[in-house]
Amino acid sequence: MPLVAHSDLPSFDRLRREGQEVLEPRRARAQDIRELHIGFLNMMPDAALQATERQFLRLVGSCNRIAQFYVHPFSFPEIPRGEEARAHIHEHYSDFAELQRDGLDALIISGANPAQAELADEPFWKPLTHVVEWSRANVCSVMCSCLATHAIVRLLWNFERYRLPQKRWGVYSNRVSPRAHPLTANINTRFDAPHSHLHEVSAAQFRRAGLQVLAAGEDADLHLGASPDGLRFVFFQGHPEYDAVSLLKEYRREVGHFLDGARDDYPPFPENYFRGKAAEVLEDYQRRVTQAQKSGARPEFPEEELAQWVDNTWSDTGKAIINNWLGMIYQVAHPKRGEVFMEGVNPDDPLGLLSNK
């Protein structure tokens, strides 16, 4: 069932124009359908703030469960912002204190742009610990994306991410763990997922800590994992929310950094992403850049042309996993927010996964 446009967040109109069903509150109130309220902590930098917002709204709105989804975005004032982003957050985002008062069924935590070598030195670290501690006792499940995964396994399971020799960047193949789990029910046993990170945690670290590894790949290691109970925390290291052109836009920014002198080397292609015609176009563009450097000119990056030649090979699986996640929450969330688990459900093992070992 659809998202509910319960505020004037511009992303609701954008998704509606894309063809996604978004209910007006008046229509939503007229339907006798259960609600699920999902917090969305958006820690992304200004340039990606609204795009990330739309990507996660799109994933949740694509779910086919019989429920109305109220997504409540919020962020931290401690994260440095420009004027436009601050205005967007002030006008359209919720205050976390209000969400605590009203209650949430689930929480999604985005990644962030790392600025410090140590996670504990990041401006979001202290408020994030507060959100996580509250969520452990007050929501059914927390879904973590990329850097949020790194932060929370350090905070709660006391193991550290490690720096890679070079950025893990591209689209990688993953296999689902042979052990059955509701999150991976009825999805492809092998599927693609984008990654974009310089630090990572491994499947081996997850297993040593007693966490569940649900999908991983030979080249990109951990993609999807979960806390021991299978639901309280769900971890993505990859990015199922990415649009087809997300890596393209990242690549354009890296080329811009090279042209501005902010990086010494011309950026390599994201792995397994630019193929065929797209690779030909970019190789030609690099030749023109090399020639133009002598004259000081800057050829225009061929983003529109490239957008025709990049493929999205991950969204269907990402939507299926999110669909499964919301279905799990639907089973155990109390219809009255603030009373998290239904009567008779063990809050330490809400789906009976541990007792069925």
Burial class (CB in 10 A: 0-12, 13-18, 19+), 127: middle
Pairing of strands 212-217, 221-226: antiparallel
As given in the structure block, the two tokens for residue 52 are: 């990330």
How many other β-carbons are positioned within 10 Å of the β-carbon of residue 171?
A: 24
Beta carbons of 176 and 223 less than 8 angstroms apart: no
Q: What sign has the CA pseudo-torsion 120, 196, 243, 203?
A: negative
- From 170, 182, 188, 172, select the one nearest 317 (Cα to Cα): 188
Beta carbons of 37 and 335 less than 8 angstroms apart: no
Q: How far apart are CA 267 and CA 301, in angstroms?
A: 14
CA 132: distance to chain centroid?
16
Catalytic residues: 146, 239, 241
Burial class (CB in 10 A: 0-12, 13-18, 19+), 137: exposed
CA atoms within 13 A on the CB side of 249: 9
CA 280: distance to chain centroid?
31
